[in-house]
């Protein structure tokens, strides 16, 4: 089956003074056109590095793609030249970054920045770009566009700035939107508005969304499917219902257990993870923290295996459980 977006056997390392450090090792990740796909992991898991790799925005060196493909509409982005990528960035794939204040230029009005992006990518006149900028601001549901377009970034609230970033990302007709923790620096009520906006834009404009977050709750509000990233590897993936309601990998379970169910609940993080020696070079990356680790986890890193439906997990324990379930199901059919 050909997917709209697909990553195959991607291995990326950084060159350091201590040698090469592997930061991404992704067997497979794919989603279809118009789908909202979530990518969850703690800080340092490699989420932003993956987003920047998709757009080929990492400096080489120190970044080094050792192998793999990133297929977008059947074309490998990793084989594209810089000139080819300039035609793809903005027009076909856009990115919403974490911090709008570091993304927007403080010395230009938001209208100037929107117009510049539109003129550069669409080749229209300044007057036409101004009209399209107003339409885009309306699209992201910001009131009084004619007044707001003349304001500088520091004159806007955090939520308004993030909506302007989304407007810039969509201003040139991008069909794939990479949202890199777009609600990270916003309060809870503003977060809800941004999540609702992204969901509505995804539905109404038929854009595909790769939604990156460290909070499973945010992903479940926007996405249909999800992948869990740990130290650059996908350790579990499937539909939101499969992964977040019936987690198989201990890391996924620990992430979910770290979320308080109410304001009175206190989470003891020490009880969610073990401590001890790290696995060998070929062992599981989560071995040193895993509460359910086995001897073979220290020796062999598990590959993604089908659990059921579209649910995959890279865990020896999960695979054993799946095999037991299959045997039990087969026995019941025979009897």
Per-residue pLDDT tens digits for 266-277: 766 666 666 666
- 8 A C-beta contact, residue 177 and residue 223: no
pLDDT at 28: 92
Q: Are residues 171 and 284 in the same domain?
A: no
pLDDT tens readout for residues 73-97? 989 999 999 999 988 988 899 998 8
How far is the C-alpha of 155 from the C-alpha of 101, rounded, in Å?
11
pLDDT tens readout for residues 236-251? 999 999 999 889 998 8
Q: Are residues 283 and 313 in the same domain?
A: yes
DSSP characters over 52-96: HHHTT-S-TTTEEEEEEEEEETTEEGGG--HHHHHHHBTTTEEEE
Does 247 map to a domain? no
- 8 A C-beta contact, residue 234 and residue 27: yes
Structural domain boundaries, residue 179: 5-242
β-pairing verdict for 36-40 and 225-230: parallel
Does 315 map to a domain? yes
Does 116 map to a domain? yes
**Helix, strand, or coil (residue 285):** coil
- How many structural domains comprise the chain? 2
Q: What DSSP element (H or E) covers 227? A: strand 225-230
Q: Are residues 282 and 215 in the same domain?
A: no
Q: Are residues 227 and 256 in the same domain?
A: no
pLDDT at 291: 79
Q: When comparing pLDDT for 233 and 335, which is higher?
A: 233
**Helix, strand, or coil (residue 314):** coil
Does 317 map to a domain? yes
pLDDT at 100: 74
Residue 64: give its domain's CATH number.
3.40.50.300
Q: Within its chain, how far is the Cα of 119 from the centroid?
A: 29
Q: Are residues 152 and 280 in the same domain?
A: no
- Residue 114 neighbours by CB distance under 10 Å: 23
Q: Average pLDDT of the chain? A: 85
Does 193 map to a domain? yes
pLDDT band, very low/low/confident/very high, at 329 (cuts 50, 70, 90): very low
Does 221 map to a domain? yes
pLDDT band, very low/low/confident/very high, at 226 (cuts 50, 70, 90): very high
pLDDT at 305 over 80: yes
Q: Are residues 67 and 207 in the same domain?
A: yes
How far is the C-alpha of 191 from the C-alpha of 176, rounded, in Å?
21
Q: Are residues 29 and 133 in the same domain?
A: yes
Does 219 map to a domain? yes
Q: Are residues 137 and 21 in the same domain?
A: yes
Q: Are residues 121 and 166 in the same domain?
A: yes
């Amino acid at each position: 089956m050909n997917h709209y977006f697909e990553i195959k056997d991607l291995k990326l390392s950084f060159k350091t003074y201590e040698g090469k450090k592997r930061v991404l090792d992704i067997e497979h990740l794919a989603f279809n056109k118009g789908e909202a796909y979530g990518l969850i992991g703690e800080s340092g898991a490699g989420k932003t590095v993956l987003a920047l790799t998709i757009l080929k925005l990492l400096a080489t060196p120190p970044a080094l793609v050792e192998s793999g493909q990133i297929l977008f509409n059947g074309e490998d982005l990793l084989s594209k030249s810089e000139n080819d990528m300039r035609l793809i960035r903005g027009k076909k794939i856009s990115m919403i970054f974490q911090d709008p204040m570091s993304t927007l230029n403080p010395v230009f009005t938001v209208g100037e920045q929107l117009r510049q992006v539109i003129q550069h990518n669409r080749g229209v006149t300044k007057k036409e770009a101004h009209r399209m900028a107003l339409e885009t601001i309306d699209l992201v549901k910001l009131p009084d566009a004619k007044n707001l377009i003349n304001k500088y970034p520091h004159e806007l609230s955090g939520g308004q700035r993030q909506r302007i970033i989304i407007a810039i990302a969509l201003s040139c007709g991008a069909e794939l939107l990479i949202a890199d923790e777009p609600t990270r620096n916003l309060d809870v009520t503003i977060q809800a508005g941004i999540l609702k906006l992204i969901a509505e834009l995804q539905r109404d404009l038929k854009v595909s969304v790769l939604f990156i977050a460290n909070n499973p709750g945010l992903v479940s509000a926007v996405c249909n499917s999800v992948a869990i990233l740990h130290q650059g590897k996908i350790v579990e993936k499937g539909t939101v219902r499969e992964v977040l309601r019936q987690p198989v990998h201990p890391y996924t379970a620990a992430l979910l257990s770290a979320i308080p169910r109410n304001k009175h609940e206190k989470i003891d993080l020490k009880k969610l993870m073990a401590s001890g020696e790290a696995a060998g070079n070929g062992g599981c990356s989560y071995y040193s923290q895993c509460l359910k680790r086995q001897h073979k986890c220290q020796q062999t890193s598990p590959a993604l295996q089908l659990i059921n439906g579209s649910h995959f997990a890279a865990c020896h324990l999960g695979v054993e459980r799946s095999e037991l379930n299959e045997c039990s199901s087969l026995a019941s059919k025979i009897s």
